[in-house]
Amino acid sequence: MSTPDPAQVPIPKAHSAQGRSISKLLLIAGGSTLIYALLAMLMGVLPGFALSNIPPGPGVEPLTPLQAEGREVYVANGCSYCHTQQVRPLAQDKIFGRPSAPGDFAYQTPELLGSERTGPDLTNIGVRQPSEVWQYIHLYNPRAVVAESVMPSFDWMFNVVDIAPPGVTTVPVPKPFAPANGVVVPSRQAQALLAYLQSLKQPKLPSPAGQPIDMATAAAPASNAPTTRAAAPAEPATVASNAAQGAALFVSHCAACHQASGEGMAGVFPPLKGNAVVNDADPTQHIQVVLHGLSGANVGGVVYGSAMPPFADALSDAEVAAIINHERMSWGNHGAPVTTKQVAGAREKKK
């Protein structure tokens, strides 16, 4: 009665082949899982750690509670589906600001970079469009200020009341877009969203020498677009190119309020067509207004509730001159043209 010593029993051939293929399978599965985990660490997790250690860039500030609330409104309403918050170092992005830097995003988690630009990039919108009144009218109904806009109306963020509560700005919605009765006031949501939009400002990046560099021009040195203020050429080569540049700059910087037709918007933004300052032979006041803005003035018998933003930081002397000349030669206006030198002189005087 002896059972054979198990060590002596030959293992059937089939069994050992199966064992080998199972261990092969384990090797493949385990090996590929290991490689996957390693790559995920290398390409996802480690860069995440490295990037989260990037300190905020100079001048980059955390959001206030109201601005942070506005960011939530921005996310909840899908603004990111149509708007990016990343400026690429490309010539076509120059109009949106300087190229984005990692330090810009230190307080933004998750970043709202976006991937679709149905509407313009908003990285620097707080600088490009600081007007509270414009932003509110535009949110209430984009078509009220940009006739051809495809942006949806966000009018549910506003209330229509008989009398605005104390301390709340009424939104001067132009007649055809305003409700028949009552005044439009921003809800808490709209106020928070506005605070967030106004917080979207790109601080200037310091150069190694400690001097702010104009990244808008540094970004595309090959482009022959107007250069920085310091390096601005005396005058554009021909009057024709000056006029074309002035028209384009007017559309990108002024038409949002004064409209491409120069007719403005009754009671909200004054017309430049037939405007006394624009047609004045002495351009001092005209240059002054474009460089340093204006508020509470009497323009053609009307005192406007909103302010004209200053453009001294955004535009070079040559650009300001080109825009002013566009205004002075368009819509039947007949003001005497100004030179880059006159603008430079007015800028110096203010300093």
Residue ranges binding ligand HEC (CB under 6 A): 74, 77-79, 81-83, 118-120, 122, 125, 128-129, 131, 134, 142, 146, 149-152, 154, 193, 197, 253-254, 256-258, 269-270, 272, 275, 277-278, 286, 289-290, 294-297, 299, 304, 306-309, 311, 323, 327
Provide, rounded to whole angstroms, the least separation between the CB of residue 73 and ligand HEC: 7
Query: Amino acid letter at 270?
Result: P
Residue number, 159 or 306, with CB nearest to ligand HEC: 306
Long-range contacts of 128-134 (CB under 8 A, 24+ apart): 128/96, 128/97, 128/314, 129/256, 129/309, 130/198, 130/309, 131/257, 131/306, 131/307, 131/309, 132/169, 132/194, 132/198, 132/306, 133/169, 133/171, 133/172, 133/268, 133/305, 133/306, 134/256, 134/257, 134/306
Residue number, 62 or 152, with CB nearest to ligand HEC: 152
Provide, rounded to whole angstroms, the least separation between the CB of residue 41 and ligand HEC: 36
Residue 270's closest CA among 130, 127, 133? Answer: 133
Residue number, 21 or 252, with CB nearest to ligand HEC: 252
Residue number, 236 or 270, with CB nearest to ligand HEC: 270
Provide, rounded to whole angstroms, the least separation between the CB of residue 295 and ligand HEC: 5
Provide, rounded to whole angstroms, the least separation between the CB of residue 153 and ligand HEC: 10
- The DSSP 8-state label assigned to residue 11 in this structure reads P
Provide, rounded to whole angstroms, the least separation between the CB of residue 23 and ligand HEC: 56
Residue 163: CB atoms within 10 Å:
9
Residue number, 87 or 323, with CB nearest to ligand HEC: 323
Contact between residue 317 and residue 343 where contact means Cβ atoms under 8 Å apart: yes
Residue 96's closest CA among 72, 119, 73? Answer: 119
Residue number, 38 or 150, with CB nearest to ligand HEC: 150
Reading the block at residue 8, the tokens are: 């002596």
Provide, rounded to whole angstroms, the least separation between the CB of residue 209 and ligand HEC: 31
Provide, rounded to whole angstroms, the least separation between the CB of residue 225 and ligand HEC: 17
Residue nearest to ligand HEC (CB): 119
Residue number, 56 or 149, with CB nearest to ligand HEC: 149
Give the Å distances, CA to CA, from 17 to 26, 28, 62: 14, 17, 64
